[in-house]
C-alpha cells in the first residue's frame, strides 16, 4: 500500500482516501463518490480496528461482509482497497498512541473511555500509510470528524480532512452498520433519534435559540419511546464541543441513544448565516 501511495504522490496525482470498518452502506458509498469526484486515485480501507472497541462492546460480532464490500467498492470505481491484517497494524510490542486532548473525553468519549485515542491512532496510522491529499469522513460521527481535523492540524498532516453529509434511510434513521443489529420493533423505535433532532430543527426554524429548552425537548422526546434509553442529548459549540446556553456561530445537537443492545448516534448541524440559523440533519 505504501508503495502504491508513494508512486501516486511522486506522479503528482491527488490521492483520495476513505477509511471504513466495512459492512458498507450508502453512507460509506457517498464518501467514495465524493472522493471519486475530487481525487484520482481513490483508495478505500476496510479495517475493523480492535482497539477502539471497549471490553463489553461488539468487536467480535461487528458485521463483516468483506466479499460484498469489495464488490460495492469495485462497482463504485475505487482504485484500491486496503484491508490490512490486525497483526500487521499492531505487531507484537506496539506501543504508540495519539490523544487529542479535551475533545476526546466528552460526549461519546465519556461513554466509551479510550475510544477516541484508539480512533485517532488508527486514523493517523492509515493516513501515514496512504498519504492522501484528501481523506473523507462522515458527519454522522461528528465528534470523530472534529477530533481528526484537530489532529491533522496539530500534527501538520499533509492530508485535508473533508467532512461529508449524513446519509439517511427514507424514514430519517442515519445509516449505520450497527442498524443491522436492530430487531423489527427496535428498528421502528430507532427513528426516535431523527424525530428528536427534527423537532429541534423545527423549533430553531421558528426562532428558538435557548439550548436548554432545545435539549430538554429532545430528552423528553427520547423518553417517550419505551425501547429507547438516553445516553446523552447535548447542544455544543462545533469547535470546542463544549455545551452552549444559546445558539450562535456553528453548533451541533448531538444524541446517543441505546435501543435494546444497540447504541446509536446522530446529530444536527446548526450554522449561523447572515444572522439567521440554518439547521441541517
Ligand atoms: P465506519 O465504517 O462506521 O467506521 O464509518 C466509516 C466512515 O463512514 C466514517 O467517516 C463515518 O462517519 C462514515 N459514515 C458512516 N455512516 C454514515 C452515514 N450514514 N452518512 C455519512 N457518512 C457515514
Instruction: Please list the residues that pair with 53 across neighbouring strands.
Output: none
Question: Are the beta carbons of 136 and 164 closer than 8 angstroms?
Answer: yes
Nearest residue to 31 (alpha-carbon basis) of 148, 172, 138, 140: 138
Task: Give the residue, out of 16, 17, 20, with the most ligand 1 atoms within 8 A of its beta carbon, to mutate for a pocket test.
Answer: 20
Question: Are the beta carbons of 117 and 104 closer than 8 angstroms?
Answer: yes
Minimum CA distance residue for ligand 1 atom 7: 20
Q: Looking at the predicted structure, is the pLDDT value of residue 25 above 90?
A: yes
Question: Are the beta carbons of 47 and 122 closer than 8 angstroms?
Answer: yes
CA of 221 from ligand 1 middle (Å) equals 25
pLDDT above 70 coverage of the chain, percent: 100
Mean pLDDT of 253-272: 98
Mean pLDDT of 126-130: 98
Q: Mind listing the pLDDT tens digit for each residue in 57-70?
A: 999 999 999 999 99
Q: Mind listing the pLDDT tens digit for each residue in 69-89?
A: 999 999 999 999 999 999 999
Atom of ligand 1 nearest to the CA of 141: 12
pTM of this structure: 0.98
Mean pLDDT of 139-157: 98
Q: Looking at the predicted structure, is the pLDDT value of residue 190 above 90?
A: yes
Is 156 catalytic? The answer is no
Nearest residue to 108 (alpha-carbon basis) of 153, 65, 53, 60: 53
CA of 275 from ligand 1 middle (Å) equals 31
pLDDT given for residue 275 in this prediction: 87
Cα distance between residue 142 and residue 67, in whole Å: 29
Confidence bin at 19 (pLDDT 50/70/90) = very high
Cα distance between residue 141 and residue 144, in whole Å: 5
pLDDT given for residue 269 in this prediction: 98
Residues with CB under 6 A from ligand 1: 20-21, 27-28, 30-31, 137-138, 140-141, 164, 166-167, 174-177
pLDDT above 90 coverage of the chain, percent: 99
Question: How many angstroms separate the Cα of 19 from the Cα of each of 105, 159, 245, 261?
Answer: 23, 13, 35, 26
Confidence bin at 112 (pLDDT 50/70/90) = very high
Amino acid at each position: 500500500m505504501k508503495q502504491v501511495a508513494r508512486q501516486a504522490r511522486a506522479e503528482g496525482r491527488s490521492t483520495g482516501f476513505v477509511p471504513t470498518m466495512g459492512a458498507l452502506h450508502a453512507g460509506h458509498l457517498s464518501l467514495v463518490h465524493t472522493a471519486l469526484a475530487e481525487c484520482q486515485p481513490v483508495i478505500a480501507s476496510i479495517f475493523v480496528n480492535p482497539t477502539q472497541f471497549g471490553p463489553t462492546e461488539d468487536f467480535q460480532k461487528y458485521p463483516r461482509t468483506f466479499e460484498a464490500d469489495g464488490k460495492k467498492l469495485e462497482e463504485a470505481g475505487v482504485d484500491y482497497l486496503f484491508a490490512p491484517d490486525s497483526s500487521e497494524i499492531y505487531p507484537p510490542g506496539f506501543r504508540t498512541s495519539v490523544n487529542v486532548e479535551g475533545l476526546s473525553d466528552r460526549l461519546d468519549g465519556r461513554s466509551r473511555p479510550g475510544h477516541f485515542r484508539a480512533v485517532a491512532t488508527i486514523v493517523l496510522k492509515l493516513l501515514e500509510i496512504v498519504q492522501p491529499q484528501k481523506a473523507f469522513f462522515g458527519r454522522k460521527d461528528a465528534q470523530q470528524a472534529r477530533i481528526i481535523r484537530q489532529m491533522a492540524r496539530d500534527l501538520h498532516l499533509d492530508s485535508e480532512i473533508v467532512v461529508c453529509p449524513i446519509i439517511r434511510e427514507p424514514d430519517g434513521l442515519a445509516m449505520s452498520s450497527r442498524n443491522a443489529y436492530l430487531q423489527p420493533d427496535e428498528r421502528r423505535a430507532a427513528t426516535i433519534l431523527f424525530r428528536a433532532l427534527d423537532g429541534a430543527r423545527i423549533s430553531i426554524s421558528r426562532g428558538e435559540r435557548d439550548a436548554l429548552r432545545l435539549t430538554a425537548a429532545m430528552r423528553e422526546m427520547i423518553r417517550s419511546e419505551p425501547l429507547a434509553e438516553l445516553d446523552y442529548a447535548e447542544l455544543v459549540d462545533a469547535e470546542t464541543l463544549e455545551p452552549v446556553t444559546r445558539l450562535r456561530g456553528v453548533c451541533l445537537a448531538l444524541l446517543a441513544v441505546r435501543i435494546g443492545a444497540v447504541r446509536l448516534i446522530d446529530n444536527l448541524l446548526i450554522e449561523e448565516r447572515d444572522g439567521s440559523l440554518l439547521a441541517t440533519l
